[in-house]
Structure 1
Amino acid sequence: MNNLSTPNYKKIYTDIINEKFPSKKELCQNILNKEALTFLDIINLNKKLFNNLSKEIKQENQKYRSYNKETILQILEYQVKNRLNNTQLAIHFNLSRNTVAKWKKIYLKFV
């Protein structure tokens, strides 16, 4: 994630917390103290900060998410580690069951 085209998520989320959610600063501090944030860290920060959004806003925001290969493999590893089925994983990460199945078909044949 140290690519020049990658946004500085650490600074972005620090600014959001300081300006809009100062009460949640302590809740997110352990993630923000990391050297570099992974995409799963960003997803966790989003859940902690914006969990109380309406269903319509969540659905709209979901349209603009994208995942790189590293993140997809981490999500699939999370599934194996926590013994979740595709439906449970999809609910946890707010994904489609079909997306999870597609990722498994594409990426787990290489593992």
Structure 2
Amino acid sequence: MNTIPNYKKIYTDMILMKYPHKMDQCHAILEKNIINSLDVVLLNNILVGVAHNQIRLNTNLRSYDKDTVLYILEYQIEHNLNNRQLAAQFNLSRNTVTKWKRIFYSLTRNDK
């Protein structure tokens, strides 16, 4: 059985207890019915910020679900970005973007 944490409740409680002054910035994300992994990354960046020396550590510990990866790849197409620009936008490595494209675009070709 695969259970997903209730990120909406976790972050709402965390904001109310530790960061009540940042509730306005997080409100739009918390109003969603389902919070995905990209939303969790955005909430973390809003709440604790990203120190320049911690960027490398944070990227090593991230994991993305299929919907988030597809959203990021669609964002690339919609905004006409190359892999380097997309990686910079979402704080990813270019190799990660290339790997995702190889995996997800090969899946769509095999589905046809």
Question: TM-score if structure 2 supplies the norm length?
Answer: 0.83
* Unpaired runs of at least 5, structure 2: none
**How far apart, CA to CA, are the structure 1 residues paired with 2:25 and 2:98?**
33
Say how many residue pairs are matched.
108
| Greater C-alpha Rg | 2
- Aligned runs of 1:32-43 on 2, under 5 Å? 32-43=30-41
- Aligned runs of 1:53-68 on 2, under 5 Å? 53-68=50-65
Question: TM-score if structure 1 supplies the norm length?
Answer: 0.84
Spell out structure 1 runs of 4+ moving beyond 4 A.
none
* Unpaired runs of at least 5, structure 1: none
Are the structure 2 counterparts of residues 11 and 4 from structure 1 closer, same or farther at C-alpha, using a change threshold of 3 Å? farther
| Identity among equivalent pairs (%) | 48
1:4-47 deviation digits (Å, cap 9, x = unpaired): 52111111111221122211101111111111112222222222
Partner of 2:66: 69
Partner of 2:47: 49
Q: Which has the higher helix share?
A: 2
